[in-house]
Structure 1
Amino acid sequence: MMRIELISVVVPVTQDNGDVVSAYHSYRRVLGRYGKPVEFIYVLDGPMPQAAQALRALKNGGEPVEILSFATPFGESAALTVGFRHAAGDVVFTLTPRIEVAPDALPALLDALATADLVVGRRVATNRGQPQKPRKFERTINVLFGTSLQDIRSRVRVMRAEVAKELTVYGNQYQFLPLLALAQGFAVTEVDLPSTRMPPRLQRFLPVDVSLLLDVVTVYFLLRFLKKPFRFFGGFGFAVLALGAVFTTYLVLARLVFGIPLVDRPALVLSTLMVVLGIQIISVGLIGEIVAFTYAKDIRDYRVDRIVEPTTVELAEEKGDTAVQSTLTKA
């Protein structure tokens, strides 16, 4: 079990209501059993008089509550980013302002941190005796990213402090935190938690949910092709270029060999446009590679898990060999 001196709880609030108080007391009661200090960071996504008043009353009563508020709504991703920035705990929970899972089951998330960096609370309907099968959305995500998660968009999570510091989320990427953590090399696992309410939007994946599809495409591109954009644009561009070149060659040969006129054949215009389009797509990929190469030294999408053997410089430092240190430094 990892050593915990302080537990941070980040709660993004996107709707103005007073239910945050009852949820807070439930969370506080359960997490207080560890005998460690707990800090609650509530981030209000815009002006929310009711929620702000209720939280202010908790703070004035001596509760460990910190209240942050945006002047205008910026979304849950921004709220999580600000909350992570202010969290000082060794572990960071992300919880919902209204109870979605049985609070008494939260310790199971902390226990799972012994073998993982981020633990997701997999919501299980209380009227079922076994975990539910992955939904269509999760099955699609697992196929695209090669994962085996069953409740990717669960907002009940716990992570080590270094995970919260490394993750960068914007837009609607808060729904894909486990995928972002996996891309950074962190270990992610799931723990079954009894659910008190299953939102209808999570019970099925509708093809007409265009915004969700766009979010999936965005995350897929960012995780797979951000550092190698030419792999994406180049492959697609070469396919379009090759197809256009084949059609153009066929039409030209048909004109030269068989004497078929090209004046009233729109296929020639279409094939020529495909050639031009393919070249443009390839050019976009090359420009993306240039940009990625230029800023590669400032982008770190990896982490060092551990050092297997000390380097020569470290050994020299331990022995106090200043001459070796100076030589290696100059080299």
Structure 2
Amino acid sequence: MSIVVPVFNEEESVELLIARVCEAMEGYDKAWELILVDDGSTDGTLAKARRSLERPALRLAIVELQRNFGQTAAMQAGIDAATGRLIATLDGDLQNDPCDIRAMAKALEDRELDLLVGWRKNRKDGLFLRKIPSWCANALIGRITGVRLHDYGCSLKLYRASIIKQVKLMGEMHRFIPAWVAGVVPSSRIGEMVVTHHPRTLGTSKYGISRTFRVILDLLSVLFFMRYKARPGHFFGSIGLAAGALSALILGYLFIDKVVFGNDIGTRPLLLIGFMLFLSSVQLITTGILAEMIARTYFRDDDTPNYVVRQTFRHN
């Protein structure tokens, strides 16, 4: 098993985090490794993490990113570096409990799942700034994506490596990982499990209320990519055809009104609307064709990571 933990300015908790992971995995009957991804920390996080490289019986790798790329890119870097058959991810602020990992691994195997998502049923966060926006977001994401989960935002997740390595994480899409995975496997192979959530006692939260607005924008992107990633021409083309049909109706009506009834249509706003809809239709359809060409090029050639690794430290 590979345990991936992105950290950013967590110097107060990183050593305790490593100790707790070691305690939680003590006696685990299979090989495991811990991968810390330092996402451009500006404090002593990296230096303190490196102290644990000499810790006996700990297979530790520290991936130092060149700058702060964000949690999604850091998570992707850790997944790319992972060698385990199973991959667990969790936050580095000690709010997720590493002791849940072993139970999740058993549940994933017993239930024959490809992704098991943690559910912070008894969440230790503020009601108005964190819980209520999270509840609303989870309900909205589940309704739009069709993957019904109680807690999309929990970083404690367990994956089969062969599945998650087929998914490329971009932007700030880590909170939508179950939706991305649903594009690779049936949603019936995605489950959830109640996990422990601790109140934050060290460091400060990296998120604010502004994240709620970014979630809404990201959700629109997820919806587009889930349905039209491989066929963007259908998205733009369907809108273009609808605009073209409406334009044809308006211009046809005006044509009959002019030719049959002899009415003046040159100054009528409806004529302008009809022509604007026609131009919009042409523009949308050609945009769809261009998007199809770009998408095919992307799927053929894109293998560029969304992060840059400065160096990697491993247990000696």
Q: What residue number does 1:70 align with?
A: 65
In the other structure, the counterpart of 2:88 is 93
Corresponding residue SS for 1:12: strand
Q: CA deviation at 1:101?
A: 3.1
Matches within 5 A, 1:66-215: 66-114=61-109, 115-125=112-122, 135-185=135-185, 187-197=189-199, 209-215=212-218
Q: Which residue pairs with 1:271 in the alignment? A: 274
Change in CA separation of 1:50 and 1:291 when aligned onto 2, cut-off 3 Å:
closer
Return the letter of the residue paired with 1:172.
Answer: E
CA contact (8 A) 2:9 2:43 kept: no
Query: How far apart are residue 11 of structure 1 and its match?
Result: 0.7
| Corresponding position: 1:37 with 2:31 | yes
C-alpha distance in 2, partners of 1:247/1:17?
A: 65
Residue 202 of structure 1, CA deviation: 9.7
Other-structure match for 2:47: 53
- Distance in 2 of aligned mates of 1:214 and 1:251: 40
Give me the whole-angstrom Cα distance separating, in 2, the residues matched to 1:234 and 1:123: 42
Residues in 2 aligned to 1:174 and 1:121: alpha-carbon distance in whole angstroms = 14
Name the SS for the 2:27 alignment partner: helix
Structure with max Cα Rg: 1
Cα shift readout 1:110-143 (whole Å, capped 9, x = no counterpart): 112211111111111169xxxx998222222222
The structure with higher relative contact order (CA 8 Å, sep 6+) is 2
Letter in 1 for 2:106: D
Q: State the AA in 1 paired with 2:244.
A: L
> Secondary structure, in 3 states, of the residue corresponding to 1:28?
helix
CA displacement 1:195-231 (0-9 Å, x = unmatched) = 2249999999x9x944222211111111211112222
Q: TM-score, normalised by structure 2?
A: 0.80
- Separation in 2 of the partners of 1:281 and 1:141? 27
Uncovered stretches (5+) of structure 2, i.e. residues with no partner: 125-130, 303-316
Q: Which residue of structure 1 lines up, in the alignment, with residue 227 of structure 2?
A: 224
SS in 1 for 2:193: strand
**Kindly tell me: are residues 102 and 68 of structure 1, through their superposed partners in 2, closer, same or farther at Cα, counting changes over 3 Å?**
closer
From the superposition, tell whether residues 278 and 126 of structure 1 become closer, same or farther in structure 2 (CA, over 3 Å). closer
Contact 1:47-1:71 within 8 A present in 2 as well: no
Gaps of 5+ in 1: 1-6, 300-331
Inter-CA distance 151–218: structure 2 relative to 1 (3 Å threshold)? same
1:20 to 11, 14, 21: 14
Kept in 2: contact 1:101–1:197 (CA 8 A): no
Given the superposition, is the C-alpha separation of residues 252 and 106 from structure 1 closer, same or farther in structure 2, using an over 3 Å criterion?
Answer: same
Q: Give the superposed CA RMSD.
A: 3.1
Alignment of 1:292-311 (within 5 A): 292=295
Which of 231, 234, 250 aligns to 2:253? It is 250
Letter in 2 for 1:148: R
Measured against aligned partners, the alpha-carbon deviations of 1:247-283 in whole angstroms (never above 9, x if no partner) come to 2222333333444433433332222011111121112
C-alpha distance in 1, partners of 2:21/2:28?
12
- Pair 1:36–1:150, CA change in 2 (3 A): same
C-alpha separation in 2, matches of 1:203 and 1:82: 24
Q: 1:280 corresponds to which letter in structure 2?
A: Q
- In structure 2, the CA distance between the partners of 1:89 and 1:17, relative to structure 1 (3 Å rule), is same
The answer to whether the 8 Å contact 2:233/2:289 transfers is: yes
Output the CA distance in 2 between the equivalents of 1:66 and 1:285. Answer: 44
Residue 286 (structure 1) aligned to one of 282, 285, 289 = 289
Paired residues, number:
288
CA drift of 1:287 comes to 3.1
Which letter maps to 1:276? Answer: L
Counterpart contact for 2:118–2:154, Cα < 8 Å: yes
Name the amino acid aligned to 2:235: F
Corresponding letter in the other structure for 1:168: K
Alpha-carbon separation, structure 2, partners of 1:255 and 1:292: 44
